[in-house]
Structure 1
Amino acid sequence: MPKVSRPQLPKGYVDAPISEVPWEYVEERLTTSKHYWMCSVRPNGRPHVVPRWAVYLDGKLYYDGSPETRHARNILENPNTTVNLEDGQKAIILEGISIPAPKPTPEFAQRLVAAFRKYAEDGYTPEATQWDEGGLYVFTPRQCLAWTIFFENPTKFIFD
């Protein structure tokens, strides 16, 4: 479980929060969401934002794609990334690192395939062996900011 605290906000933003967002809520949203916005950093320092399909398993976000994409090339030089869900009112903002994942074990590959089924209606159904030669990436969060009502419950989660 991550450590729970409050984000550092300027005076006047949220001076008297009354609750916290439960981590279980954040995990549910990360698991059921279909669209994740990932920001990596280009070699020249400019940001690069791209929507990704991903699955949340064991506290990490897994996604796949060609190693030739701008995003994949960026993270090889600088793994620092952010991930945001699409909802700005009930926000979940993750900060962490994204790296190429090792070849998954057959058991974990099956779990990935099962989790990626949420994209079947969109025409994407990966095979368990498709990541044997690479193309799978893993995002590990360092911290997460979340709120369901900004003035009531902004919450910061820190991962060790």
Structure 2
Amino acid sequence: MSDPAEEEPGQAVRLRLAEEKNVWLCTVRPDGTPHVTPVWFVYRDSTWWIGVDRASVKARNVREDPRVSLALEDGGSPVVAEGDASLVRGGFPREIVAAFQRKYGWDVSAPARPGAGRELLEVRVRRWLLAGTAQ
């Protein structure tokens, strides 16, 4: 029997992941408190991709503790994922850069400000929490 965390969510959830623009990302600060922020994302092949500034709080937090949670904005039909994030610096996958361009008209690899570096958060799901039930 396969682990439900390794399975893709159903078609309705996958459609939302393709269409919705924002997800709330929760990382863990060094003192153990949560840091929550809305971010743009692309979901492909069981992985969430999020563009971040290398010096951002979320990037610093993930370097210290890779555990994250993600929640789509609609509280009436919850889609929450828990996973482990890793940072990808440079050499961004072309298909992910193209997916951000299609979804947002945005070059995820371009620095937000002069001298700032960009990274991608790559989040593999450990567990889905859908409609109030852990899977």
1:156 matched to 2:124: no
Q: Distance in 2 between matches of 1:155 and 1:30?
A: 18
Using the size of structure 1 for normalisation, the TM-score is 0.68
Q: Percent identity?
A: 33
TM-aligned CA deviation for residue 100 of structure 1: 0.2
- Correspondence for 2:31 among 44, 68, 90: 44
Larger strand fraction of residues: 2
Structure 1 residues without counterparts, runs of 5 or longer:
5-21, 148-153
The one-letter code matched in structure 1 to 2:107 is P
Using the size of structure 2 for normalisation, the TM-score is 0.80
Q: Distance in 1 between matches of 2:85 and 2:17?
A: 16
The CA deviation string for residues 73-130 of structure 1, in whole angstroms up to 9 with x for no partner, is: 001110000000000001101111111026547xx41x2133212112xxxx217x65
Q: Write out aligned runs for 1:25-36 (5 A).
A: 25-36=12-23
- Correspondence for 1:101 among 82, 88, 93: 88
Asked if the contact 2:90/2:119 (under 8 Å) is kept, the reply is no
- Correspondence for 2:42 among 22, 37, 55: 55
In the TM superposition, structure 1's runs of 4+ consecutive aligned residues that sit over 6 Å from their partners are: none
RMSD: 2.4
The verdict on how the C-alpha distance between 1:61 and 1:26 changes in structure 2, with shifts beyond 3 A counting, is: same
Asked if the contact 1:100/1:134 (under 8 Å) is kept, the reply is no
The verdict on how the C-alpha distance between 1:139 and 1:47 changes in structure 2, with shifts beyond 3 A counting, is: same
Match of 1:143 in 2: 127
Match of 2:104 in 1: 119
Bigger RCO of structures 1 and 2 (CA < 8 A, at least 6 apart)? 1
Q: Distance in 2 between matches of 1:36 and 1:90?
A: 13
Structure 2 residues without counterparts, runs of 5 or longer:
112-116
Aligned length: 125
